[in-house]
Amino acid sequence: MKVTVLGSSSALPTSQRYPSAHVLNAHERLFLVDCGEGTQMQLRKCNIKIGRINNIFISHLHGDHVFGLYGLLSTFNLMGRTSTIRLHAPANYDLMLRSHLSDFDINLNYQIEFVPLKNGGQSPVYEDKHVSVTSFPLKHRVEAFGFVFREKPADRNIIKEKIEEFSIPSCMIPGIKKGRDFVTSDGKVIKNKDITVPPPEPLSYAYCSDTMYFAGLSSFVKNVDLLYHEATFDASMTKLARKVMHSTTLDAAKTALKANAKALMIGHFSARYDNVTTLVEEARTIFPATIPAIDGNTYNIRELSARNRLHD
Amino acid sequence: MKVTVLGSSSALPTSQRYPSAHVLNAHERLFLVDCGEGTQMQLRKCNIKIGRINNIFISHLHGDHVFGLYGLLSTFNLMGRTSTIRLHAPANYDLMLRSHLSDFDINLNYQIEFVPLKNGGQSPVYEDKHVSVTSFPLKHRVEAFGFVFREKPADRNIIKEKIEEFSIPSCMIPGIKKGRDFVTSDGKVIKNKDITVPPPEPLSYAYCSDTMYFAGLSSFVKNVDLLYHEATFDASMTKLARKVMHSTTLDAAKTALKANAKALMIGHFSARYDNVTTLVEEARTIFPATIPAIDGNTYNIRELSARNRLHD
């Protein structure tokens, strides 16, 4: 699992920070989360294969999370895309998007499968062999959603030398990987744990933007390996943060701590901060394993998580 | 007059080229021409004062010329803008824009004065003390417009030493600058040309994107100092260019030659060209004073024009 930050600014972009967008690579599936203006250019700069994105998640309908979508959908078309794209977004966006595309006379050669996000609580939104995605409510000025991406536990890995040692037929291997013991032709039971090793721990990544602090949030992102959480403001601006329903550094850190996240990435920085070092330092007073989201950087979630487990 | 290229790509941006947008600085007025995705970020990277843009011109309603507008208008708002912005665009965009802003719950604290572009021929769209702007029709798949920006002739410059020499009272100076002779207290007539020097030649800049070649176009951009003309394709792709109603390098160069432009800038390059040198070389076979539009570069129109006048 690797996440690439395409934009770390809040609504007002700077020369260094683009509006919100992350790409998660989980088992070579690319999930685009939010799509601020310039997302397609950032994808190109990061050498990410645009055509391999099949799922887009839109957290809420504020322009700095959406305005890159029209260009990206047009670009898919110009690149000859024919495969369906699944768009997970607040329900009322379906009509808005279609009317906007028709205004601009954009006739797509592929389908958009619109998947409305569901109010109320945690809700499964995507699942395949390796990954599942759940949405959950945030608290913002408009209806907003967070997402957790979780790897499914992988099969155990068989130890190659044991195949030869016990003459294990290949038809038995899938079962052994699932945890079965092996019985030799002379009836001897070989314990599964003696011929396999456990797979790496499944990883998880949560995306929370935009939201004010609320106690229940940590339960939605419990134990994630990497929590991305907005921190638009420093702690001295708590009053403004509450008013506009955003978070401070300390809000993000508190949620990470309560959730027992392994690492915290803060972003969605207000344009007032040229340098975000002080924001990171502030969050670290509560949650030491905090890093800043930096445009164009790719983060290895296993490494971030392992680094912090060492500190446990 | 200086023009900054914010985007030189056609519909499919590349890691080096953003979608269409130019900023013209004429007498410290900033005119934004087209507003492709990422325009506001490019403005920041070029250190252009966003708040000083008061007029935006949209050539036509294809996304790669418009999709940066929503973000820019939101940014004006977040920056506290209160002064009216004049938006010159195809007539049907008024309703589309307002419906899109309302969809995203964007309530602007400033007015947008929508100025619909007029069909049919050349049409004055803007005028102040120093600059006038005319729109004219292009030929594209949708209704499209080009623009010519012309400086007005400036007053003559009075020679400072002559004020003392002939004891010219300051109340006479404005008239002399307009071309009047000066009569001394003892009735002697001093010819205007002996106490003034002519002002620099007024400059002009034309913007033509997107369009296929048509004979009448050159008459709309007659004698301009800098003609920006799209050249999406090289000459070997003339058939495709005609089909999608775009221009080749040679189309752009022919129009520049027929128009007696002093310099030609080509842009709106297809993503198929990593390097545009061969496109420029091709255009130069017909119109030697051709340069490529390069993202982030600012071009001094007097210098470009003078360089070519030397070659005359």
Question: Which has more pLDDT, B15 or A310?
Answer: B15
Please state which of the ranges A27-31, A255-259, B48-52, B102-106 shows the lowest mean pLDDT.
B102-106
d(CA B124, CA B118): 9
User: Could you give the 3-state DSSP secondary structure of residue A219?
Assistant: helix
Please say if the pLDDT value at position B136 is more than 90.
Answer: yes
Question: Among residues B197, B221, B255, which one ends one of the domains?
Answer: B197
Question: Among residues B176, B197, B218, which one ends one of the domains?
Answer: B197
Nearest CA to A62 among A121, A133, A136, A138? A138
Question: Is the domain of A204 the same as that of A256?
Answer: yes
Question: Is the domain of A175 the same as that of A261?
Answer: no
pLDDT tens digits for A43-98?
A: 999 999 999 999 999 999 999 999 999 999 999 999 999 999 999 999 999 999 99
Question: Is the domain of B96 the same as that of B113?
Answer: yes
Kindly report the average pLDDT of chain A as a whole number. 95
Q: How far apart are the first and last CA of chain A?
A: 22
Q: Do B67 and A66 touch (CB under 8 A)?
A: no
Query: How do beta strands B53-57 and B85-90 pair?
Result: parallel
Please say if the pLDDT value at position B308 is more than 80.
Answer: no
Question: Is the domain of B263 the same as that of B165?
Answer: no
With a CB cutoff of 8 Å and minimum separation 6, the contacts of B7 are B13, B17, B18, B19, B20, B21, B34, B36, B38, B39, B42, B295
ipTM: 0.90
Contact A269, A279 (CB under 8 A): yes
Q: Give the dihedral of Cα atoms B267, B268, B273, B274; nearest 10 deg.
A: 80
Q: How many domains does chain A have?
A: 2
Nearest CA to B267 among B38, B83, B94, B14? B14
pLDDT tens digits for B171-206?
A: 999 999 999 999 998 999 999 999 999 999 999 999
Question: Among residues B133, B168, B197, which one ends one of the domains?
Answer: B197
d(CA B65, CA B69): 9
d(CA B215, CA B97): 33
Question: Is the domain of B25 the same as that of B51?
Answer: yes
Q: Do B63 and A70 touch (CB under 8 A)?
A: yes
Q: Do A61 and B15 touch (CB under 8 A)?
A: no
Assigned token pair, B220 = 């709309």
What pLDDT is recorded for position B220? 98
Question: Is the domain of B192 the same as that of B46?
Answer: no
Q: Do B64 and A74 touch (CB under 8 A)?
A: yes
Over range B253-278, report the average pLDDT. 97
Which amino acid, residue B96? M
Q: Do B62 and A104 touch (CB under 8 A)?
A: yes
Give B 69-128 residues with CB within 8 A of chain A.
70-71, 74-75, 78-79, 96, 99-100, 103-106
Nearest to B38 among A38, A70, A74 (CB): A38
Please say if the pLDDT value at position A39 is more than 60.
Answer: yes
pLDDT tens digits for B139-149?
A: 999 999 999 99
What pLDDT is recorded for position B312? 47
Which amino acid, residue B77? N
Question: Is the domain of B185 the same as that of B244?
Answer: no
Chain A residues close to B38, C-beta within 8 Å: 37-38, 41
pLDDT tens digits for B75-99?
A: 999 999 999 999 999 999 999 999 9
Residue from B6, B12, B58 to probe the interface with A (highest A Cβ count within 10 Å): B12
**For A152, which DSSP code?**
P
Q: How many CB pairs under 8 A join A and B?
A: 90
B30's enclosing H/E stretch is strand B29-33
**For A153, which DSSP code?**
P
Nearest CA to B111 among B60, B77, B65, B75? B77
The shortest C-alpha distance from B227 to chain A (Å) reads: 27
pLDDT tens digits for A166-214?
A: 999 999 999 999 999 999 989 999 999 999 999 999 999 999 999 999 9
Residues B45, B77, B97, CA angle at the centre, nearest 5°? 95
Nearest to A37 among B64, B68, B96 (CB): B68
* Of A64, A225, A234, A251, catalytic: A64
Question: Is the domain of B147 the same as that of B163?
Answer: no
Q: What is the pTM of this model?
A: 0.92
Question: Is the domain of B32 the same as that of B115?
Answer: yes
Nearest CA to B6 among B61, B64, B52? B64
d(CA A112, CA A115): 9
pLDDT tens digits for B51-67?
A: 999 999 999 999 999 99
Percentages of chain B per state (helix, strand, coil), in multiples of 5 = 30, 30, 40
User: Could you give the 3-state DSSP secondary structure of residue A211?
Assistant: coil
> Dihedral of CA A124/A74/B106/B18: which sign?
positive
Owning domain of residue A81 = 2-154+200-311
What pLDDT is recorded for position B93? 96
Kindly report the average pLDDT of chain B as a whole number. 95
> Phi first, then psi: what are they for B146, rounded to 5°?
-105, 170
User: B273: domain CATH number?
Assistant: 3.60.15.10
What pLDDT is recorded for position A303? 94
What pLDDT is recorded for position B105? 83
d(CA B210, CA B92): 18
Contact A172, A182 (CB under 8 A): yes
Nearest to B63 among A14, A45, A71 (CB): A71
Nearest to B13 among A18, A41, A105 (CB): A41
The shortest C-alpha distance from A138 to chain B (Å) reads: 18
A297's enclosing H/E stretch is none
Question: Is the domain of A163 the same as that of A226?
Answer: no
Assigned token pair, A20 = 């919100």
Question: Is the domain of A101 the same as that of A204?
Answer: yes
What pLDDT is recorded for position B310? 52
Question: Is the domain of B102 the same as that of B211?
Answer: yes
Assigned token pair, A105 = 């006379």
Q: Does B192 touch chain A (CB under 8 A)?
A: no
Q: Which residues of B are catalytic?
A: 64
Which amino acid, residue A178? K
Assigned token pair, A242 = 């509450």
Nearest CA to B116 among B69, B72, B54, B58? B58
Assigned token pair, B152 = 């007005």
